[in-house]
């Protein structure tokens, strides 16, 4: 009935190691959580800009709500069962 695509908002994840920015990016783009973390650490060793970008995203991205987190987990598990 509702054929319009849902607007997905980029948020900081509750599954965070530091601030949840990398985990939030991974969830938003359907990546494994360690992928963006590895890329961030790798580029941070050579350049300072990833740290600056991380801090800016930490300040501007909203924290993921508990309801959104539970809904995403249930949807992820349902998709893995279908495959």
Tokens of 39: 């890329």
DSSP for residue 63: B
φ, ψ (nearest 5 deg) of residue 63: -75, 140
Model pLDDT, residue 4: 58
Tens-binned pLDDT, residue by residue, of the chain (83 aa): 456 566 677 788 877 788 889 988 988 888 998 999 999 999 999 999 999 999 999 999 888 776 666 777 788 888 888 76
Residue with tokens 């309801």: 67
């Amino acid at each position: 009935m509702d054929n319009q695509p849902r607007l997905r908002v980029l948020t900081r994840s509750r599954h965070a190691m530091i601030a949840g920015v990398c985990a939030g990016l991974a969830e938003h783009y359907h990546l494994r959580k360690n992928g963006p973390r590895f890329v961030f650490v790798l580029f941070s060793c050579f350049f300072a800009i990833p740290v600056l970008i991380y801090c800016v995203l930490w300040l501007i991205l909203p924290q993921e709500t508990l309801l959104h987190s539970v809904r995403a987990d249930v949807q992820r598990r349902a998709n893995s069962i279908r495959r």
